[in-house]
Amino acid sequence: MASPPNPELVGRCEALRSLHRPGDPVLLPNAWDAATAKAVVAAGFPAVATTSWGVAATLGYEDDEAAPGDEMFWLATRIARAVDVPVTIDAEAGYGLEPAALVAALRDAGAAGCNLEETDHRAGRLRDPEEHATWLAAVREASAELDYPLVINARVDTYLQGYIDQVGPGTQSALVADALQRATAYRDAGADCVYPICLWEPDALRTFMSEFHGSVNIARVPEAPGLAELAALGVARVSWAILLHVDAMARFTEQLESLRG
């Protein structure tokens, strides 16, 4: 028999969900350990998001599920225990767990929410959207069975590889139809928010926002519009993905180099 829901965790889930207001986006700087999570809270942010890139690096692994899931959840648990605000965990593609096991791991970690991405890292491709939507629906069902109102942020990876490969500007509009198909399927499967990561070109972003009905998370990559413009477009959530970790490590490296005199 499943343990009864934790009222404090349920409250954090509901608080996180309430922060998703289109046009007044919740800002989620991404932390990677307890110290950075505490810094986010001390700076006045109402919730903490983790970055799998940074968490994996802290544990000594590469991103994209190269780290064992149990180690990632261990560190996520430490982060959630270190702060008194909702924490949403970047759970990558679920580490190969069945939906019920994944939801149980998130609940045990104290996660108010999670990112779930559609990239199949073992196969090196995007999952079929219908297949992924079915999986997300099973995650939602598993959370409902535990009376655990987990906030699901479904990542849409249509734009990710092009951004990594630095494909020239002016190409994202052609991918809006695919991104919308995926996002709509995931919303209908029970996701609370969709996350078309690396969508930043103004025309493509405006089209996506005008045609999608639901909460949208946009990554604040350097090329993206400013926060005021994202709010005006109706974005409900802004996060920084790996960027704060990358910048912090670059600064640390510079400091180390300066120690040589």
Q: Are 112 and 148 in contact (CB under 8 A)?
A: no
Q: pLDDT tens digits, residue range 128-177?
A: 999 999 999 999 999 999 999 999 999 999 999 999 988 878 899 999 99
Query: For every residue of 131-151, which 3-state class applies, written as one string?
Result: HHHHHHHHHHHHHHHCCCCCE
How many residues would you count in the chain?
Answer: 261
User: Does the pLDDT at position 1 exceed 70?
Assistant: no
Domain-located, residue 2? no
User: Does the pLDDT at position 212 exceed 90?
Assistant: yes
What pTM value is reported for the model? 0.96
Please choose, from the candidates 243, 193, 235, the residue with its C-alpha nearest in 3D space to the C-alpha of residue 218.
235
Between CA 118 and CA 129 the distance in angstroms is 8
- CATH code, 178: 3.20.20.60
- Please give the pLDDT value at position 4: 72
E-assigned strand segments in the chain = 26-28, 30-31, 48-50, 87-90, 113-117, 119-120, 125-126, 151-156, 193-196, 215-219, 237-239
- pLDDT bucket at 5, cuts 50 / 70 / 90: confident
Cα dihedral: 218, 204, 125, 129 (round 10): 80
Between CA 100 and CA 258 the distance in angstroms is 49
If phi > 0 it is left, if psi is from -120 to 50 it is alpha, else beta; for residue 13 that is alpha
User: Does the pLDDT at position 261 exceed 80?
Assistant: no
- pLDDT bucket at 2, cuts 50 / 70 / 90: low
Query: What is the residue range of 52's domain?
Result: 7-258
Six-digit token pair at 67?
């780290």
- Please give the pLDDT value at position 167: 83
DSSP string, 162-210: HHHTTPPSS-GGGGHHHHHHHHHHHHHTT-SEEEETT---HHHHHHHHH
Mean pLDDT of 236-254: 98
Q: Are 153 and 113 in contact (CB under 8 A)?
A: yes
Domain-located, residue 67? yes
- 193 forms beta bridges with 153, 215
Mean pLDDT of 57-86: 98
Domain-located, residue 1? no
User: Does the pLDDT at position 181 exceed 60?
Assistant: yes
Q: Average pLDDT, whole number, for the chain?
A: 96
β-pair type (193-196, 215-219)? parallel
Burial of 121 (0-12, 13-18, 19+ CB in 10 A): middle
- Tell me the percentage of the chain whose pLDDT exceeds 90: 94
Domain-located, residue 70? yes
User: How many distinct structural domains can be found in the chain?
Assistant: 1
